[in-house]
Amino acid sequence: MKKALVIVCVVAVLFSFGGCAKKDAGGSGKLVIWSFTDELGGMVENYYKPAYPGVEVDYSLTPTDQFPSKLDPVLASGRGAPDVFALEAAFVRKYVESGLLLDLTDIYQANKSKLLAYPVEIGTFNGKVYGMSWQACPGAMFYRRSLAKKYLGTDDPKEVQKYFTDLNKFLETAKLLKDASNGSCVVVSSRGDLYNPFAGARQQPWVVNGKLYIDPAMEALMDISKTLYDNRWEGRVGQWSEGWFAGMNGTLRDDSGNLLEAFGYFLPTWGLHYVLKTNAPDTAGDWAMIPGPAPYRWGGTWIGAWKDTKNAAAVKELIRYLTTDDGFLEAYALATGDVVSNINVMNKIKDTFSEPFLGGQNHYAEFAEMAKSVDGKLVQGTDQAVEGLYQEALTAFVMGEKTKAQALADFRAQAEIQLGL
């Protein structure tokens, strides 16, 4: 899920942080920019263009589901290709590994001491950097303070985290909540919330030496998902469903119409502002966040460029500015609340935040710390296709349609037939 932002550029703030200072290097010519998110459009319009008035920008926005089919043929043919384009988390590696992107390694090398590791790792292939991001989207576990007090005896994040230190503790606590509530409190409304944390707990990616590799964490997800479902320790609704959202505001019901209490949700940075806040405004102040059982990431946007662009100097300066510049990123982060991938900026501003929705907890500082543990090297271009096949196997096992052994065997067989793995 991508967030939509309308970014307001306050001139006084921008100048005070150097965001609108005139630049010379790479500051002329024309750039064609394609995107699927208005975030990049707002950054370009409100920050980049005032800073680089000598560059003409032709900006185009295309819906996410149509974006790859629009970008693929022009990059392959070289006819009508944009100079710069946004890349969504789900398909960024496809392009990073394509051989069609401009090498940005020099930008990274000049700024690497201040850049968070995982966004660069995702944008790196065969030792060279082809995609860079201004943001970080680490994930957290959000929980209801009132339910934590009621069933765990405390709502203090440090104490609650002790109940979710790893994947086994997560399962133990799911049982505890169900038992303590006489069946009314589920640890999550949807077992689908667990995919990203378990994927983040892997030691190896999906493909190792050209072959499918099923990390023990993904086998553990199958077992835990089955246990949660069979014991009704989860709400048995799908992510993004009406029931999933209902759990946020305390109106989730089981298939018999009984009211359920949803203890927590696994969501990234944008999930706080654009999922929880918007769907459960009446619960403001009754939430808190913890790292949960494993570090993970969810979403994000990278910027790449066509390898044969005719204005490489301006392209590289735009990418350098939007993904590394201290002045711009500080102004942008303060204006939007976005968690940026620049460690200098992150450390400078992280202690200035207090989130009323989380009972005054500093979400920015928490996310900044969580982002350090995310492993971007686990991400591969084949992930989207492999994950689709895995989810089919997972669902078949959880629903009792197949044994675990049969589900895994079919998963391996389909990965070989469809993907050659």
Query: What is the CATH classification number for the domain harbouring 192?
Result: 3.40.190.10
| 24 lies in some domain | yes
Is there a domain that residue 214 lies in? yes
The whole-model pTM stands at 0.88
Q: What local confidence, expressed as pLDDT, does residue 5 receive?
A: 38
pLDDT at 27: 61
Output the pLDDT for position 391: 97
- Segment 41-66, tens digit of pLDDT: 999 999 999 999 999 999 999 999 99
Based on the domain organization, do 143 and 292 belong to the same domain? yes
Half-sphere exposure of 322 (CA within 13 A, CB side): 28
Same domain, yes or no, for 175 and 266? Answer: yes
% of residues, the chain, pLDDT over 70: 93
Same domain, 241 and 346: no
CB 305 within 8 A of CB 106: no
The answer as to whether 228 is a domain residue is yes
Q: Are residues 309 and 248 in the same domain?
A: no
Range of the domain at 282: 139-296
Let me know whether 210 and 124 are in one domain.
Answer: no
pLDDT score, position 282: 96
pLDDT on residue 177: 98
Query: Do 342 and 362 fall within a single domain?
Result: yes
Q: How many separate domains does the chain show? A: 2
**High-pLDDT (> 90) share of the chain, %:** 90
Chosen domain end from 275, 296, 317: 296
Report yes or no: 204 and 219 within 8 Å, Cβ to Cβ: no
Kindly report, residue by residue over 3-24, the tens digit of the pLDDT: 433 333 333 333 333 344 444 4
Output the pLDDT for position 281. 96
**DSSP, residue by residue, 274-334:** IIIHHH-GGGTTSEEEE--SS--B---EEEEEBTT-S-HHHHHHHHHHHHH-HHHHHHHHH
Indicate whether 320 and 348 sit together in one domain: yes
Same domain, 164 and 281: yes
Looking at the structure, do residues 98 and 185 belong to the same domain, yes or no? no
Calculate the CA 319 to chain-centre distance.
Answer: 20
Of 103, 131, 105, 102, the C-alpha closest to 118 is: 131
Among 231, 276, 300, smallest CA distance to 1 is for: 300
Supply the pLDDT for residue 206: 97
Instruction: Tell me, yes or no, whether 87 lies in a domain.
Output: yes
Q: Which residues have C-beta within 8 Å of that of residue 340, sequence separation ≥ 6?
A: 134, 135, 136, 329, 332, 333, 346
In the predicted model, residues of the chain with pLDDT beneath 50 are 1-24
Do both 272 and 143 map to the same domain?
yes
pLDDT at 11: 33
For residue 400, tell me if it sits in a domain.
no
Residues with Cβ within 8 Å of 212's Cβ and at least 6 positions away in sequence, in order, are 206, 386, 411, 412, 415, 416, 419, 421
